[in-house]
């Protein structure tokens, strides 16, 4: 595939994904974290906060200081969702169900319950916040779609290359579109790897998505998306 084709594919896929994905992000609250959902970073318009039912959470993975195996984190109730810390890295996975885009808006319902559906998808989402470096972060914390580091990202400065890999079920995920602050930058290779350049200090937001056809009356496809958040001083 030509570079051009790659770029086009990436752009198209990312734009498509971005058009129907929510942002998830953590805010620190003492040693805990508050998980929000909405449109804080998205390129598209939408409600700033889109509360969710804690029932959509399918897993929490907290890598605690001096531990090498992530353990589940206690979650609270209500919104924003409180997740117990502290964690060197925290990942939360969610199944937000079926979504359908209609002429009157996007509904959190399967397509067979609505009329005039333009497109529909099953959304499986995850968000990972990394606070500090650990060699353990070279491996995934979960079996869902997830970013892993090839090197310590906190040693990087603006202009450096951030070398990442996307893994799914513990294996390199090929052909996954990756964006830096919403800007599609490429797709992962056979080894799941992709390089991104650090453009600024502060919050770093990297997203990836993977689509697969879904032979179901409920949705046309399944969209797996993941968000990686960390800060460069």
Partner 1 sequence: MANTLTEHLSISRRIFVACALAGVSVPCFSHHGVAGLGAAGLRGPGAPVESATSATLPAGGTLAYLKLDHAKYETYDSDPANPESDYANYWMAGVGYGVASWFSAYLFLPYHSKVDEPGGLDSRGFADVSVMGQVGFKYDEGWRLIPDNESLDDLEDWHFTLFGGFTLPTGDADLRLDDGSIDAGKSTGFGKPSWSLGLTATKMLSPQWTFNQELSTIGFQEYEYDDGNRTKFGQEIRANSALIYRAYTDLDRKLRVDLSMEAQYLHLGRDRTNGVDETATGGDMIYALPGVRVYWDNISAVFGLKSPIWTELNEESQQQGGEGSEDYRLIFTFSSLF
Binding positions for partner 1, rule: CB under 8 A: 1-8, 11-12, 15, 161, 178, 180, 184-190, 193-197
Nearest to 192 by CA among 158, 128, 148: 148
- Angle ∠(177,60,226) on CA atoms, nearest 5: 10
Find how far residue 19's CA is from the centre of its chain. 14
- Looking from the CA of 117 toward its CB, the CA atoms found within 13 Å total 19
Q: How far is the CB of 75 from partner 1 (least distance, A)?
A: 35
CB 202 within 8 A of CB 229: no
**Structure token digits, residue 4:** 């051009």
Judged by CB, which is closer to partner 1: 30, or 155?
155
Q: How far is the CB of 167 from partner 1 (least distance, A)?
A: 16
Judged by CB, which is closer to partner 1: 129, or 185?
185
Judged by CB, which is closer to partner 1: 15, or 57?
15
Q: How far is the CB of 7 from partner 1 (least distance, A)?
A: 3
CB 93 within 8 A of CB 75: no
Q: How far is the CB of 18 from partner 1 (least distance, A)?
A: 13
């Amino acid at each position: 595939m030509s570079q051009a084709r790659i770029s086009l594919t990436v752009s198209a896929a990312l734009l498509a994904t971005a058009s129907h994905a929510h942002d998830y992000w953590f805010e620190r609250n003492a040693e805990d974290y508050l998980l929000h959902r909405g449109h804080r970073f998205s390129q598209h318009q939408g409600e700033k906060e889109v509360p969710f039912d804690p029932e959509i959470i399918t897993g929490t993975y907290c890598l605690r200081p001096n531990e090498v195996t992530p353990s589940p984190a206690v979650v609270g109730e209500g919104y924003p969702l409180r997740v117990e810390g502290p964690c060197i890295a925290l990942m939360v996975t969610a199944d937000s169900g079926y979504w359908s885009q209609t002429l009157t808006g996007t509904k959190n319902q399967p397509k067979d319950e609505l009329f005039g559906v333009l497109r529909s998808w099953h959304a499986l989402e995850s968000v990972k916040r990394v606070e500090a470096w650990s060699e353990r972060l070279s491996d995934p914390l979960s079996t869902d779609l997830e970013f892993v580091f090839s090197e310590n990202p906190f040693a990087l400065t603006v202009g450096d290359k951030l070398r990442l890999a996307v893994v799914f079920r513990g294996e390199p995920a090929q052909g996954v579109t990756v964006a830096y602050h919403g800007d599609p930058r490429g797709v992962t290779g056979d080894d799941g790897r992709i390089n991104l350049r650090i453009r600024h200090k502060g919050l770093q937001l990297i997203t990836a998505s993977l689509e697969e056809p879904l032979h179901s009356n409920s949705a046309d496809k399944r969209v797996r998306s993941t968000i990686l958040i960390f800060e460069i001083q």
